[in-house]
Structure 1
Amino acid sequence: MADPNIALNKAAGASGYVLPYSSSRAVNGTLQPTSRWLCNTVPADMTVDLGATFVITAWTVRHMGTAGWANPDYNMCDYSLQGSNNNVNWVTIDSVVNNTAAITSRSIVGAYRYVKLNVTKGLRVNPQYASLMELEINGHPPNANLSSLAISSSSLTPTFNPTILAYTTAKVPYSTSSITVSAAAADPTSTIIVNGTVMTGGQSTVNLNVGANTINVLVNALDGVTTKNYTIIVEREQGAILSNLVISSGALNPIFSSNHLNYTTQNVVYDIKSVTVTPTTNIAGCAIKVNGNTATSNQPSTVNLNVGSNTINIAVTNGAASQTYTITVVRENSLYLDRVNLAYTGNRYTYSEVTYMNQTTLSYTVAVNSKANSVVITPIAEDNGASVTITSNGSSQTVASGVAFSAISLPNAVNTISLVVSKSGAIGTKNYTLSINRV
C-alpha cells in the first residue's frame, strides 16, 4: 500500500508567484484550472513544511496538462526535489530533465521535514514561467519497530510483540557457542544493528559466552533520531569442560583445547611405569574422574602404565552434562637383557655358562679359566624384538636377541665387553658392561 500524500494542505512558500496563484494552491489536492502555483520568473522554487520529519518514499508533480492545458507545451521541463531538516541546508534528492509528461512520479528514499521544488526550465511554451497543479510528497512517520524477531536454538519469552522490548530464552547447552538472530524492521528503510554490527540479509550471528549474554537489537529509523532497542538475554550453560589438561610424559597432540576430546602424547620408555595427569576446570560444580578415580581440579593424579598402548579417561560431569577426554600413552617394551649365554673355547678347553641379569644392574663380572682364549656370546633380551650391539677389542657387531655373536678373543687377564640393547623406533638404549676375567 502506497504511503499517503504528507504534503497535502501543509504550509507552502515560494520564491515568487502571480496573484492569485500562490504556492498553497499547489498542495490543496485540487486540480481545477485556478488551483495552481504560477511564477513568472525562472529559476523559481516552491517550499513545503511537512510539519515534522517524515520518511519520504515518492514524489509526484502534476503539471498543467492534467487540467486541460495542451500537452506537452504547458508541462515544465527541468526541475528537482531537495530535502532539509532545518530549512537552511538542502540535499538534492531527485532531478527531472527534459520532461514532456503531464504527470511525473518517482520513488525516492529520504527523511526530511522540508521539501523544495527547484525549477530551472519552466513551461515548454515559455521556459521563463513555472507552473504546476499539484506537488505531492508520499511518506510516513519514522518507525523504529521490528515486525519480527527470533533466534535459533530457542524461543523468545514472552512471544514477540513489537511493543515489548525485553525478552529471555530457555538456557542453551554449553555446546551452543553461537546463535543466529533473525529480525525484520517494520519500515524497510530502518537499519537493524545487532550488538554493534549492522545486520545484513535479515540475520546476524552472535557468539555466546558461558553464562548470561545480553543481545541488543537496535533499530534506527531513517531520520537518525527515532530508535528502539530490543534486548534478548540468552544463558549458555556452564557445561562439563576442562580449561586445561597436562600429562607428565610430554606435550599433548594436538595442543589442548576445551572443545577437543582425544589426545596422544609421546611414547614413554619401559622404565616409566606411571604418569601423572593434571586436569583443570574453571567451572564450579564440575566433578572429575581419572580412569574412574575421583580427581581434584589442578591437582595431579597418578596413572599406572602397562607395556603397550594405554588409554587414560578423564570424565567431567556437571549436573546432567558430561563428556570424556582421552589421552593415549604408549609405554615401550623392555630394553633389558634377561641373560647372556657364554661359550668359551681354548687349547683343549671348552666351557659354557649362563649369566642372568636384573633390571637394577648394568655391569657384570664373570671369571673363567685362563685356558679360555675366546668366547661366543648369545644375548637373550626381555623383548624378543630387540637387537644387541657388542663392542670388544675395537670392533663391533650387531645381532638380534637369541642370536650368537661371532667369537670374541680374550687376550687379556681382564677383558671388557660392551653390550648395547636397542630396538628400531624405540626411545633410548640399555648399555651393559661385561668383564670376563681369566684366572
Structure 2
Amino acid sequence: MGKNLALNADITASSYVDPYEPGRAVNGIVSDPTSRWLCAALPGWLRLDLNKSCWIGEWTVKSISGYAGWPADYRMTSFSLERSIDGTNWITVDSVTSNTYNVCTRVLASPVYARYFRLFVPNNGGLQANKSAASVMELELVETEVDVLTSLVIKDKEEHTALLTPAFHPDTLSYTSNVGYDSDCITVIPVASKTTAAITVNGQELIGGKASVAMTSGLNNVEIKVTSAVGYTVTYMVTVTRASSPYLASVTMTGFRIPGFSKTTYSYNLTTRNLASTKVTPTPEDQEAVVIISLNGTTFNSGQAISLIKGLNPIKIVVASKTGFDSRTYIFNINKTS
C-alpha cells in the first residue's frame, strides 16, 4: 500500500461547524469522536493541496459511523472525488452513491495525476441519519507507483519528427501536433519508464518499439496507454492535425499552354515574344485552400491581368492548406523576349 498523501495535508473546506474544522479529517485520528469535519451547508467540499502533482490510485472516506461510539446511520451516503491541476477547474474522478460502508475505499481503474483534490458532497448526500449535514472522520488519498512514458516521438511519413505541444514531459498527458497533407500515416515511438510495462497505441501493440497510425485530413486522436505489471494504466492523448491539400489541381494562363502540368512539379519555364499581359487562374485540389498569386511582391486576384515586362517574369502561386499547416509554391518563369 502506498503513502497516504492526505495525512496532514493543506486542507480547506466550503464551510464547517466550529470546532470541527477540516484539518480534523486528515490528522489520522479515528479514536476521538471530535476528530472529524462537520459541515451543515450542502453542497459542500473538502479541498486538499498536495503542494505538487502526484499519482493517486486509491482513496478512502471514513465516516464517523463505526468509530468512537457513533451509530451505523451516521455514515456518508453520496460523495465524489475531484481533481484539479490549477485548483479552480475540477474534473470528477470517481463517485459514490447510496454508500453502505463505514469505511468506503475505492481503487481507481486508472491512477490520476493532480496537485489538488476535492471531496465533494452534493445536496442530500450527507449522513444517512441527516442527509443535509456531512461529517467525515478521515479522508485518505493513497499514492501509487505508475509506469509512465520517458520519451514520445511522432514521425511523419517522410520520417521528420513532428513537434509536440507542449513539449513532452512524462507527467503531461495531453498534446497536440501537426503533420503535412502527404502524411496519410504517422509513426509513434513511445518508450516507457520500465521494460515490464505494456504499451498500446490506439489499441494496437508495438512492433519493433513503434506503431503506425493512419491519418485522415483534419483531427486524429492518438491514444497511448502504458500499463504497469500490477495493472495500473496511464493514458496519453495526442491530437494530430493532418493538413488539408495544399496542391494545385490545374492552372491556366491566357496566351500560354502549360504542357505536362503536375501538382508535384513546382517550376515551369514559359516564353513569349510580345504578349503584354496574362490572366492566371489557379484551381486548388481543396476549394477552401488559400491561394496567393504574385509577381515581384505584388499580389493579384485569380483572373486578374498581370502585365509582363521584357525579360524574366517569375509568377508565383502559393497554395496554403485551409486546415493545418502545409503549403506548396509553384513558379512560372515567363521570359518575354521583346
TM-score (norm 1): 0.39
Of structures 1 and 2, the one with the larger relative CO (CA 8 A, separation 6+) is 2
Larger Rg: 1
